[in-house]
Structure 1
Amino acid sequence: MLTLSLIGIGCGDPRQLTFAATAAINAADLILIPRKGTAKSDLAELRRTICAEALSNDCTRIAEFDLPVRDAGEEDYRKGVDDWHDAIAATWSQEIARHLGGERRVALLIWGDPSLYDSSLRIARRLDPLPSIEVIPGITSIQALCAAHALPLNEIGEPFLVTTGRRLRDGGWPPGVDTVVVMLDGGAAFQMLDPAGLQIWWGAYLGMPDQIIMAGELAEVGPRIVAARREARERHGWIMDSYVLKRRS
């Protein structure tokens, strides 16, 4: 049976690789590297760098492929994502069939951890035939963000909530918690909140050479974050960021 290894590689810094991740990279017969267009060529290059530093097995091959693009115009968001995942699964299957056969091991390098706001596990279960799936956990952007700010995420004995920019924008502050972690926010959804009594710890390109972090009262720091996001996106062509919001009780 084919084994598919989904390897969490942290947020872009090769030093964030665990020993288990390095071992899984070297155990693979094939490593697939997705290309997401010229605007996000940095992401493929970082995967290449990680392979160059971690890979010592001369028998492991590396193959690159173009990742299907999601139809952003699809009115039904969930259907659009579902169709996109089908297209990605078909592409994975094609690349595996092209480069491997029989009982072999193929690996994909996953930003952060495969279990947190990443769809690689859902996509992997759409492959036909279904491979044996192996997950190697990695450092998440949440951990990298808290480390960059030397921030304890939870208050003593208190819960926190991890959500998306879309949910924060549409639903406002989630009830029952005073600490919120926001990921996958394409439009600085914190601008929709009343900033009174809120603090923010924000970071972009966490773990990468171009890392940016800011923190402070949302009313004061929020506009500077919006400006920094806009400038960074124009410079790089893409941005990956996350942030923690805390409400004074």
Structure 2
Amino acid sequence: MALIQMSFKSKALLMQTSVNIILPMGTNRIDFEGTNDFTYEHKKFPVLYLLHGATDDHSCWLRLSSIERYAEDKGIAVVMPNADMSAYSDMVHGHKYWTYISEELPQFLQAAFPISDKREDTFVAGLSMGGYGAFKLALRHPDRFAAAASLSGALDLVGSLRKGESSLFDNVFGDPEKVDNSQNDILFLTKQLAESNGVKPQLFQACGTEDFLYEDNVKYKNYANELGVDLTYEEGPGGHEWSYWDTNIQRVLDWLPIESNKVVSVE
């Protein structure tokens, strides 16, 4: 695997930002024909956008899990952007992280790196705030994402805001009542998806039974099941902690609809 640690000036954010990228290498054929003569096949890789949680940043998946090793076994590229405390949203008082993550970053990376732009090769996952962001991306753009996974996700954000449990996001949303039935409300977006006639992403949800977000995750699971949404749900012992997420990101990679060591030919 190749690890690319990159900083660049985002037009959406109007500032420098950082992103970590893991690119497979072993899945490409490398022919050695004499001294200093290497040939690489021109291929594009399926990609997983992997989102961090609140209080974390783009480095945490690399530092606190073995995602690089797991991704290598699957032949998949992994993109880990920084989104600060934005809830992957265009903030009322702050930066336009939704525009950056959903629009600018994929376009930039697809132009700069061998990453597929096909829906069937594009996935998103995240933990906690990142689980919320992952589902929001897939539910708002089902035409772009084939699958999304939430680990310990903050999936009932409206309920948390109403109970005053998510004051960290005051600068993101402003009036919490404006989140209800909006494009930032995961329950509302799920209902929209269920009622649509278009393509629908596969959804994976997992949460530890000792996690403080467990009840919110059960609520979402029951709601999605009532709507008939294609949702794979798993739970088991575990809290809001990296030992749980490191284990379950492996489950996510096994669940994703990709072939092992798949590469996508450039047309």
Say which structure, 1 or 2, has more relative contact order (CA 8 Å, 6+ apart): 1
TM-score with structure 1 setting the length: 0.34
TM-score with structure 2 setting the length: 0.33
